[in-house]
Amino acid sequence: MKKSIGAKTILFPTPVLIVCSYDDKGVANAMNVAWGGIACSEPPCVTVSIREHRKTYENIMAQKAFTVNIPSEQYLKEADHFGIVSGKNEDKFKATGLTPVKSDLVNAPYIKEFPVALECALLETHKLGTHTQFIGKIVDVKVETSALNAKGFPDTEKMKAFMFDPGTSAYYATGKFLGQAYTIGKIK
């Protein structure tokens, strides 16, 4: 039996997206975003939703660019830190000891130590309410060579990404392989 719990932002899993950007002085910032995901296949787009008072909001509006970085479990503490402190009050790269690297194709930094980085050019913005949705066109994906599989894609088990549960504000690891899509669902 189902119980109604009201109009809430409940979903699982939500990703742990570390969004990086530069301000007008070239200072790198990083922010932890759970409100986002892939939004289109062609052009390849990713979306992240951010409140207006954030440093990242200002930066993306000014530079029209950002990166989306996927942390591995090893950097759980740093990833959470990016969601606690504002870039208006702290240099978060200095505080965490992580390294911003200038992207090749857009004016935004990615995180050297994380396994995956998406370089994004700002395509559209949609103000929805408390959050504005930024649609980024993915212009390149960079992956640590140690996290690639034989076909040249990120290997989920090597990447060791984790996820966020907004209902309980908790992080969870990636679990075991369950099956291949478009295959296990062939009924009849």
Q: Order of strands, edge to edge, in the sheet holding 17-22?
A: 28-33, 17-22, 65-70, 116-127
Q: In the bound complex, what is the minimum distance in angstroms from residue 102's beta carbon to a second copy?
A: 13
Q: In the bound complex, what is the minimum distance in angstroms from residue 24's beta carbon to a second copy?
A: 26
Name residue, tokens 């910032």.
29
Name residue, tokens 């990636």.
174
Provide CB contacts within 8 A for 81, sequence distance 6+.
Answer: 92, 95, 96
Cβ-based nearer residue to a second copy, 88 or 112: 112
Q: What distance in Å separates the CA atoms of residue 11 and residue 37, rounded to the nearest whole number?
A: 12
Cβ-based nearer residue to a second copy, 6 or 24: 6
Q: What distance in Å separates the CA atoms of residue 161 and residue 70, rounded to the nearest whole number?
A: 7
Q: In the bound complex, what is the minimum distance in angstroms from residue 92's beta carbon to a second copy?
A: 10
Q: In the bound complex, what is the minimum distance in angstroms from residue 14's beta carbon to a second copy?
A: 6
Q: In the bound complex, what is the minimum distance in angstroms from residue 185's beta carbon to a second copy?
A: 3
Selection from 72, 36, 40, 38 nearest residue 157 by Cα: 72
Cβ-based nearer residue to a second copy, 24 or 187: 187
Q: In the bound complex, what is the minimum distance in angstroms from residue 74's beta carbon to a second copy?
A: 11
Burial 49-72 (b: 16+ CB within 10 A, else e): bbeeebbbbbbbeebbbbbbbbbb
Q: What distance in Å separates the CA atoms of residue 124 and residue 8, rounded to the nearest whole number?
A: 26
Cβ-based nearer residue to a second copy, 58 or 118: 118
